[in-house]
Structure 1
Amino acid sequence: MKKLSAVLATACLALLAASPASSQSSEELMSYAVRGNVPPGYPASYAAIVRAGEDEGRLVIYSTTDADLVAPLIADFRAMYPRIDVAYEDLNSTELYHRFIAETKLGADTADILWSSAMDQQAALVSGGYAMTYVSPEKARFPAWANWKDQGFATTYEPVVFAYNKKLLPANEVPQTHADFTRLLNANPARFKGKVSSYNIEKSGLGFFLATQDAAISPEFWTLVAALGKAQARLDLTTSAMTRKLSSGETVLGYNLLGAYTAQKAASDDSLGYVFPRDYTLVMTRILIASKQAGHPNAAKLWIDYLLSKRGQTVLATASRLHAIRDDVEGENTAARLKQTLGASERPVAIGPALIGYLNNQNYRDFILQWKKALSGS
């Protein structure tokens, strides 16, 4: 778990002000020192939400997004609303989900905002009545498919990749499809014994979600899981853990890593490579919801609007280096650019009630049991 310090946020703000992501003049930035100042293009009535959020003075966020990536977003948000302190907790997806539910049921202090890559768990919270309904001023400018019931909001557009150590795996052996991945492992399991990594789907909500999406797309997924078992794959909780092992040479191959994190690591590490699978590349999103019982509901609304705004999405794509979802944000880290790269292999995961099926207790247990059996070869 990580908490974002005020020192880190201040440092990121200084960097952000000098970057292309910040298009505001010093006069515009200073204007936010005025209490209740309304962002450009918003109705004058929005001032009531701003003032109420400033009176609350605090925003609590639980998220699966690494704290260092979120720092520029928080710094820019605080440049707009300096009267609102932000408490940010970087949690594993499963911990986030169960902790929030437990705290809510106990009536304890908990998060105002939940931002998670485990799409199914976020959808379950919406379906379970935990999410605030809020019609954002950004709704008309955002893709219709990215909004579910004005309670769940898609915020990013992120591919799922294979990763590998370029110094340990020849280029002509790098798997380009899921079938290639299976064949490579089955051809010589001893060669890859302990040298492959993937998610531990029992402990990682994101890992479980990605596995269920694979299983829904391809019946050959279970053959791939069996191959991972033969290779005695290392099971991790995060993409960051997997990329560290790949970079150090502890592992050679990684399956189902988040593309944004992997690309960022690869940019500074010439030993790390990655591919978008050519048969299909899953594309997921980080779903944003506000708690129905938020202790700081107006500050939560301000964060939703900020993250959905062109300003917030631009910071997300440039300083945070995640793929922005808005059509009017330009650059390398955007949904539009990714769609061009992936072409027919793109398999975006839609937000909605269909995500929840595997989280039914019996379905969940059955899937985990099948996964364990496939890994063990039984």
Structure 2
Amino acid sequence: MRIPTSLLALTVLLAAPALAQKPQGAAPQRPAGYPRSYDATIADARAEGRVRIYANADRAELVPVVEAFKRRYPGIQVFYADLGSTEMYARFVRETRARQYSADIVWSSAMDQQVKLINDGYAQQYASPEKPALPETAVWKNMGFGVTAEPIGIVYNRRLVPAGQVPQSHQDLETLLRTRRAAYTGKVATFDPARSNTGYLYLSQDFQTTRDTRSLMEAIARTRPVLETTTGPMLAGVASGKLAIAYNVIGSYALEQARRHPDLGVVFPRDYTLVTSRIAFIAREARHPAAARLFLDFLLSREGQGQLARHSLWPVRSDVPSRRLPPGQARVVRVGPQLLVNLDRLTRARFLRDWNAILGNGQPRP
């Protein structure tokens, strides 16, 4: 679970003993299958000596990737700023417009914001040698690269939700909340789409998937739900028993927490499960473009994807061993321009008016 840090906090991952810089010897060999011209990219990256990343992946998820990257490319420092998606977007845009030193790579779970930055000219094109191994849905314009394939699920407390009542689908969840509303009043949580861009993305995708989403949201609204801006408080609330159920939770975080909290159960709805991706791109004004290419390629490589998979971030590549959803269950959110619809001001305003109406209708009448 990501622990928020100060907006200005910059974590120098190499400060940890496990990441101590290795002495530079012979030039690292290019990965197998890469073109001979990649030798020049490696040489340029070593000359640059560093790469700066803005991301909202947890340190526990990223540090092993950085360690492996350092073993392959010793001498390249990795600087990582752990930022919320909204903070990341604002900071990167502000610094870029002011021509200040900013990120070389921007890597975020806010898919629509990433696509907007790419569409607005903040990214540079790069034909990664790893592209042929990626699903078509994970690459847009050789700029935006989906690095993960993360399912969005339902989390529940095993002590508060009897085994026979655990919802296995969206319809199951709606039925449970309608038939046992009193038991779950004040015990259900979800994202607040008005305050969380991630929550807005997930809920808008639900509405695009099925018209039944409105009925489910009405059932949730009648429980007087707890509305959060991040996954962390929802998982903590369910694990402690303060909450019984959390809807639309990032599956990678939920599975990681379930390892530590035996009362935490995770369900990926069998009717459909949204699968989102953390999109990475290389900044148009990157100060260290060659090192950024190396790091992006490593994230997309089998080795990098394998490191992510070992820390609950499901890889986007199908040739990396990992847990997978059953065929037909995944509703993959494609990396591409259709996500820009979410950021249209009129569309967003109309959506949030409807959401507020659902919440208002769900409150008990005086």
Q: 1:33 to 1:363 in 2, by over 3 A?
A: farther
Deviation at 1:222, TM superposition (A): 2.0
Q: Deviations over 1:16-63 (max 9, x none)?
A: xxxxxxxxxxxxx98974246433332332122122222222211111
Rounded Cα–Cα distance in structure 1 between residues aligned with 2:209 and 2:272: 9
Q: Counterpart of 1:329 in structure 2: which amino acid?
A: V
Q: Deviations over 1:177-200 (max 9, x none)?
A: 212212222234332222111112
Q: 1:143 to 1:343 in 2, by over 3 A?
A: closer
Q: Which deviates more from structure 2 when the two are superposed, residues 359-368 or residues 135-144?
A: 135-144
Match of 1:368 in 2: 352
Note if contact 1:123-1:355 (Cα within 8 Å) is conserved in structure 2.
yes
2:314 to 323, 327, 340: 323
Match of 2:277 in 1: 285
Note if contact 2:112-2:201 (Cα within 8 Å) is conserved in structure 1.
yes
The 5 Å alignment of 1:174-253 reads 174-253=166-245
Matched, 1:167 2:159: yes
2:13 to 6, 16, 26: 6
Aligned-partner SS, 2:281:
strand
Higher helix share: 1
Deviation at 1:8, TM superposition (A): 7.1
Q: Deviations over 1:82-134 (max 9, x none)?
A: 32211112222222222222222222222111111121111111111111100
Note if contact 1:160-1:256 (Cα within 8 Å) is conserved in structure 2.
yes
Q: Counterpart of 1:376 in structure 2: which amino acid?
A: G
Q: Deviations over 1:292-330 (max 9, x none)?
A: 111211111111111111111111112x33111223222
- Computed over aligned residues only, the root mean square deviation of the Cα atoms, in angstroms, reads 2.2
Aligned-partner SS, 2:69:
helix
Identity of aligned residues (%): 38
Aligned-partner SS, 1:209:
helix
Matched, 1:56 2:40: no
Q: 1:268 to 1:257 in 2, by over 3 A?
A: same
Match of 1:94 in 2: 86
The 5 Å alignment of 1:29-68 reads 33-35=25-27, 37-68=29-60
Rounded Cα–Cα distance in structure 2 between residues aligned with 1:5 and 1:106: 24
Note if contact 2:22-2:75 (Cα within 8 Å) is conserved in structure 1.
no
Number of residue pairs the alignment of both structures matches: 355
TM-score by length of 2: 0.90
TM-score by length of 1: 0.88
Q: 1:304 to 1:260 in 2, by over 3 A?
A: same
Match of 1:126 in 2: 118
Aligned-partner SS, 2:326:
helix
Matched, 1:147 2:139: yes
Matched, 1:84 2:76: yes
Q: Which deviates more from structure 2 when the two are superposed, residues 207-216 or residues 192-201?
A: 192-201
Note if contact 1:4-1:67 (Cα within 8 Å) is conserved in structure 2.
no
Rounded Cα–Cα distance in structure 2 between residues aligned with 1:10 and 1:203: 38
Aligned-partner SS, 2:102:
coil
Rounded Cα–Cα distance in structure 2 between residues aligned with 1:284 and 1:214: 12
Q: 1:226 to 1:106 in 2, by over 3 A?
A: farther
Aligned-partner SS, 1:185:
helix
Rounded Cα–Cα distance in structure 2 between residues aligned with 1:235 and 1:109: 36
Rounded Cα–Cα distance in structure 2 between residues aligned with 1:241 and 1:317: 24
Match of 1:26 in 2: none
Note if contact 2:24-2:75 (Cα within 8 Å) is conserved in structure 1.
no
Match of 1:19 in 2: none
Rounded Cα–Cα distance in structure 2 between residues aligned with 1:132 and 1:77: 22
Rounded Cα–Cα distance in structure 1 between residues aligned with 2:255 and 2:148: 15
Note if contact 2:12-2:78 (Cα within 8 Å) is conserved in structure 1.
no
Q: 1:97 to 1:62 in 2, by over 3 A?
A: same
Aligned-partner SS, 1:255:
strand
Deviation at 1:350, TM superposition (A): 1.3
Note if contact 2:103-2:283 (Cα within 8 Å) is conserved in structure 1.
yes
Matched, 1:69 2:76: no
Deviation at 1:360, TM superposition (A): 0.9
Deviation at 1:219, TM superposition (A): 1.4
Aligned-partner SS, 2:31:
coil
Deviation at 1:9, TM superposition (A): 5.0
Note if contact 1:226-1:374 (Cα within 8 Å) is conserved in structure 2.
yes
Matched, 1:357 2:350: no
Deviation at 1:71, TM superposition (A): 0.9
Note if contact 2:22-2:74 (Cα within 8 Å) is conserved in structure 1.
no
Deviation at 1:354, TM superposition (A): 0.9
Q: Which deviates more from structure 2 when the two are superposed, residues 246-255 or residues 115-124?
A: 115-124
Note if contact 1:260-1:323 (Cα within 8 Å) is conserved in structure 2.
yes
Aligned-partner SS, 2:194:
coil
Matched, 1:347 2:331: yes
